[in-house]
Amino acid sequence: MPRLYAFAFKSLQILTLLFFVMTLIYSLQFLITEPKYDHPYFLIVALIVVLIGIIFMSIIVNRFFTQTQFIIFICLLAFTLRLAWVLTVQTNVVQDFAQMYNGAVDAANNNFSFADKAYFTTWVYQLGFTMYQAGVIKLFGEGVLAIKLLNILYCTGITYFIYRIATHLFNEFSGRVATLIFATYIPNIMMTSVLTNQHLATFLFYAGFYLLVKKGISHSYAWIFVSILIAFGDIMRPIGIVILLALILFLLITHIIGDQQLNKKMVVSKLIGMIGIYYIVHFIFSYTLIATGVTQYPLSSRDPYWKFVVGFNTETTGGFSFPDHKLVFQYPIGEERFEIEKQLIKERTADKGQLLLLFKDKFKVMWGDYDASIYWGLEGHPQPELSKLLWTLEKLCYVSICIFACIASIKTIKEQRNKTLLFFSLLILGYVGVHFFIEIQSRYRYFIIPTFMIIQGYGVYLITQYIKERFQRKEIH
């Protein structure tokens, strides 16, 4: 194993461990200092119960199901829980979700005037998901139920991909645990009733990741489909650049620096090909919309500074700011608006000490706070007691995930064998890094949560192996 590769692998795994440790600390801090129930001892006992429950259920699902039985069981479980939620709670369609849905209704009726509104001429990339919804409405008629049912299918698909990826990276036991926790993860269940682009995008991204993990870069044509899936995922939700960077670094570290057996020219040529296909898919989709008269702009953000303006706002800890919105959006897209935004960014990043404090606070809120998915899932149906219960259960589960992920990360640092795991570590670190600079919301965790599940599944496996060994030693003595 080349020294440079070993150094890079170990460094990235240590950074991943540090991320999970800090996330665990901040999550516990929110749970204790801002509890939904004013009973700290109850919360400690509840956390212990959740931890034991996860270990117990992991043993059950691994002992009493064949592989086929488990796949059927977990897909039915994921689907049924989400279907029950969607049919029970009629979540209101508001804000950005309403803009895209209303635009989709117009598009389904061949009325594309909505694309001239400021929302779509500024955030042109939102047309990708809007046109997808328009296609669904065209097929099934106006109404949100069909879109929500498809959301359920995508989440069930993500559940399946988590199982397959975790099993490939670690083992069958880890795969079953990872997917079981995700299938019952409250924020994901509740978000299925929200018309967000996160469901379809994440499904496409993880379908691509599974193909990459299963076939690898050396496969003759799998890399083409990986690129296409990531490109379409990015068209739905524009975070593909983070994935591309993680993929480039992963291939460079593992196959250019680390692997002495694969042909390096082949790796580089396929990497260039993947990037090329990614942008070709974007170009085709973007200019199809232009050619058909839907919009006159390419699929992108025409205000590249706005996310940074908000992201560097200390008053909102990097969250949305109404004063900023009022100030900036009084000007049309153009140099005058850009100059104001650049001036705001310059002022907010001038004090480096304050900037570092902002980064710390943003990390704490983004990765440690209660998941806002519960707020969005109950939009229009305020139920304080139910919200308190769901937020507490979410936080207890999230803390448990962080604990098991820390255990898994410690082990992977020592092993240094799982090369493919490096891609998911880069994915985490890249996604975390980006949110130091741009607007944050805790619901933006959605995309990376499946990766958390994959890693924590191995942590649960290690704990069960430790318990098993202890019992065996006692029996011998």
- Predicted confidence at residue 263, as pLDDT, reads 77
Higher pLDDT residue, 15 or 261? 15
Percent residues over pLDDT 90 in the chain: 83
- Predicted confidence at residue 410, as pLDDT, reads 95
In a domain, 63, yes or no: no
* Structural domain total, the chain: 1
Percent residues over pLDDT 70 in the chain: 98
- Predicted confidence at residue 149, as pLDDT, reads 97
Q: What are the φ/ψ torsions at residue 301 (nearest 5 degrees)?
A: -95, 125
Check pLDDT > 80 for residue 416: no
- Predicted confidence at residue 417, as pLDDT, reads 74
Q: Which two tokens stand for residue 394?
A: 């979410």
In a domain, 100, yes or no: yes
In a domain, 232, yes or no: no
In a domain, 441, yes or no: no
Check pLDDT > 60 for residue 477: no
- Predicted confidence at residue 358, as pLDDT, reads 97
In a domain, 290, yes or no: no
Q: What's the average model confidence in pLDDT over 38-64?
A: 90
- Predicted confidence at residue 475, as pLDDT, reads 60
Q: What is the pLDDT of residues 106-160, one digit of tens each?
A: 999 999 999 999 999 999 999 999 999 999 999 999 999 999 999 999 999 999 9
- Predicted confidence at residue 5, as pLDDT, reads 83
Quickly tell me which residue has 């050396």 as its tokens: 218
Partner residues linked to 123 by β-bridges? 301
Q: Rounded distance, CA 135 to CA 163, Å?
A: 30
- Predicted confidence at residue 218, as pLDDT, reads 82
Q: What's the average model confidence in pLDDT over 458-464?
A: 96
CA of 21: how far to CAs of 112, 156, 400, 410, in Å? Answer: 48, 29, 12, 11
Q: Rounded distance, CA 218 to CA 224, Å?
A: 12
Residues 6+ apart with CB under 8 A from 196: 97, 376, 446
- Predicted confidence at residue 339, as pLDDT, reads 95
Q: Rounded distance, CA 393 to CA 374, Å?
A: 11
User: Whole domain around residue 123: which residue ranges?
Assistant: 94-143
Q: What is the pLDDT of residues 146-205, one digit of tens each?
A: 999 999 999 999 999 999 999 999 999 999 999 999 999 999 999 999 999 999 999 999
Partner residues linked to 301 by β-bridges? 123
Check pLDDT > 60 for residue 255: yes
Q: What is the pLDDT of residues 383-407, one digit of tens each?
A: 888 888 999 999 999 999 999 999 9
Q: Is the pTM of this model over 0.85?
A: yes
In a domain, 40, yes or no: no
- Predicted confidence at residue 260, as pLDDT, reads 62
CB 162 within 8 A of CB 52: no
CB 176 within 8 A of CB 70: yes
Helix or strand or coil: residue 123?
Answer: strand
Q: What's the average model confidence in pLDDT over 365-374?
A: 94
Question: Which region holds residue 117: left if phi is over 0, alpha if psi is between -120 and 50, else beta?
Answer: beta
Q: Which two tokens stand for residue 287?
A: 């200019």
DSSP 8-state secondary structure symbol assigned to residue 334: S
Q: Which two tokens stand for residue 379?
A: 């939009």
Check pLDDT > 90 for residue 39: no
- Predicted confidence at residue 403, as pLDDT, reads 98
> What is the average pLDDT score of the chain?
93
Q: Residue 258 — pLDDT band, cuts 50, 70, 90? A: confident
Q: What's the average model confidence in pLDDT over 457-473?
A: 88
- Predicted confidence at residue 1, as pLDDT, reads 64
Closest of 183, 197, 193, 195 to residue 85, by C-alpha: 193
Higher pLDDT residue, 433 or 385? 433
- Predicted confidence at residue 257, as pLDDT, reads 85
- Predicted confidence at residue 414, as pLDDT, reads 83
Q: Rounded distance, CA 43 to CA 21, Å?
A: 20
CB 362 within 8 A of CB 180: no
CB 366 within 8 A of CB 440: yes
Q: What is the pLDDT of residues 53-87, one digit of tens each?
A: 999 999 999 999 999 999 999 999 999 999 999 99
In a domain, 121, yes or no: yes
- Predicted confidence at residue 189, as pLDDT, reads 97
In a domain, 289, yes or no: no
- Predicted confidence at residue 472, as pLDDT, reads 72
Quickly tell me which residue has 């030693």 as its tokens: 473
Q: Residue 256 — pLDDT band, cuts 50, 70, 90? A: confident
Q: What's the average model confidence in pLDDT over 310-317?
A: 96
